[in-house]
Chains A and B, each alone.
Chain A
Amino acid sequence: MHPVLRNPKWLAQYVAVWLGLGYMLAALLRVPGGALSWRDALAVAVPLCLFFAFVCLTPWYMCRQLPLVSANGLKMAVSHASAAILATALWIGLARAIGYVFEIGSRLDAAITPLIAVGLLLYLLSVALHYMMLAFETSRQAALGARDAELRALKAQINPHFLFNSLNSITALTTSDPGRAREMCIRLAEFLRNTLGLGERESVAWHEELDLAQAYLDVEQIRFGSRLQVEMHVDEQCADCLVPPLVLQPLVENAVKHGVATLVNGGSIRVDSRLRDGQLRVTVENCFDPESPAPRRHGMGLRNVRSRLETRFGSAGRLAARADGNTFRAEISVPCQLTD
């Protein structure tokens, strides 16, 4: 069904526009010779426009059948022209019938030529508007699709190095420390489940993001042992802020992969999140070896997070990242929304 017919509010607005057009058409009918009174002109124009309002919804079906990009031009022109002529014939026919009923047929004669022109124009204008509407719709769908694809890519991005190294650590622990092997299996499972689960959702609460990052860091902690120290400072107030899923974990993963893992003696990762002036502010800070070669896929995780924050929050969502000596700092700042 046509979107205008699906939504009563839109339908009311649409009809109102056509009533306005009906008034203008009445004014037009009075001009040639001035033979029609306002009353007669309105009696013809208003029902005519109300009828045509619905005729002008029909191009929606045709426009969808003949999309601008793929249809052949000639076929499109012929189809729409025939439909326009048919619609105009109905329009003139109805005008005549109304003229007959109100016994003003003869005085309407002079107005027939402009009526034909107006009918054709209105119909073709509606075709053009429908194409615009479809193009708009397509681009919106594409944007949604792109966002989904991005999320899928992100989920698929569970770092294989992390996964296989963790499995290797578990393999080592099974004989030396079965208890810790089990603990690590469970934490790894939690991390994987949360990554897959959170990715499905539009928004997640900040505390869920923190839990995911914590599960990830717990696993890495077992892998790296004393080389990895983690400090988490969390302001309870921001626990319920809603954010797009998987914005913190990529930052924490970068901090391990390009930071602590590049250092012989390891180092620490500081995660700090607080609420200030209605903004959720998050800092992930780590040390790294400035002499280690720049990571190959540098900034891909950061870029992905940044673009998703911008999609959600516009210019109010920011991610800044910079290296300062041997410290790398990523800062997220987004408005704290509590409901979608």
Chain B
Amino acid sequence: MNLRTVIVDDEELARQLLREYAWEAGGMEVVAECGNGFDAVKAIGELKPDLVFLDVQMPKLDGFEVLELLDPPPAVIFVTAFDQYAMRAFDAHAVDYLLKPFHLDRFKTALERARKRLGQAQPPAAELAAAARPPGQKLERVVVKDGSKVHIIPIAKLDYVEAQDDYIALRSDKKNYLKQQTISSIEGQLDPARFARIHRSYIVNLERIARIEPYTKDSRVVVLHDGTQLPVSRSGHARLKTVWGEDI
């Protein structure tokens, strides 16, 4: 069976090389080529390919962001020019990555790995992307897919995150955006100097907090500038203290 493949790279010559290697390696059918992240999300969503070659640096959405928005995620092989942030080895999810320029043999090895894990159960796309993203690189923005639309929420505009079963609700500009990701996973991606997990179910943007008020005898709430109240657990309070000092 031919492997249905999508190639995503913003450079025509890089796409041409992948196309050529795909033809040489055989057993592949390139069903689409995309030059940017938006087109990639759309094409992959419609065509449901088996395998995607995904450039990391692209206009609009980078490779990690594209991966986050693909549900269910296909097998992905990242293609990047320079391993600047020591990209994680993808052993856990058997995603591979190729460093440009690469040899046909290396391309075939990556292909073999991808074939082996076809049909295996996948973690949610956002978890996969979180694992793939270089550690220590904090999110600058969050991407959310809503039907066929892609929303980009800059971190500065994110008020708080609320856990809802397998989803998180992201609150920004008086609107809620749902995303399939666990709250712990996004907590690890957010800059702890700007966001704090104040409760099992809540992460708050520290700049949005107006004050902290007692709620019951031993629990508290934070009041945001827009009046929203969010519960603060005991360990959440301890975390706020480490950011702001003891006097809160």
Chain A residues in the interface with B (C-beta under 8 A): 160-161, 164-165, 167-173, 175-176, 222-225, 227, 261-264, 289, 291-294
Contact = CB atoms under 8 A, between A and B. Distances in A.
A155 B140 CA distance: 29
B20 A289 contact: no
A217 B81 CA distance: 18
B59 interface: yes
A49 B216 CA distance: 89
A175 B20 contact: yes
Given A169-B11, A289-B59, A164 B36 contact: no
B226 to A, nearest CB: 24
A223 B13 contact: yes
Contact of B16 (A161, A176, A264, A289): A176
B81 A161 contact: yes
Given A161-B81, A169-B14, 7 more contacts: A161-B57, A168-B81, A168-B100, A227-B10, A264-B10, A291-B152, A293-B140
25 contacts: A160-B81, A160-B82, A161-B81, A164-B101, A165-B81, A165-B100, A168-B11, A168-B81, A168-B100, A168-B101, A169-B11, A169-B14, A171-B100, A172-B16, A173-B13, A175-B20, A222-B13, A225-B11, A264-B10, A264-B59, A289-B59, A289-B60, A291-B60, A291-B152, A294-B140
Interface string B1-43: 0000000001111101100100000000000000110100000
B120 interface: no
Contact of B14 (A172, A291, A292, A293): A172
A227 B99 CA distance: 23
Contacts of A173: 13
Nearest to A293: B140
Interface of B: 10-14, 16-17, 20, 35-36, 38, 57, 59-60, 81-82, 84, 99-101, 140-141, 152, 154
Q: Which of B13, B20, B99: most chain A Cβ within 10 A?
A: B13
A157 to B, nearest CB: 13
Contacts of A262: 59
A188 B59 CA distance: 24
A263 B59 contact: yes
Nearest to B18: A172
A293 B82 contact: no
A289 B58 CA distance: 12
Nearest to B36: A264
Contact of A171 (B12, B84, B101): B101
Contacts of A172: 13-14, 16-17, 20
Nearest to A223: B11
Contacts of B16: 172, 176
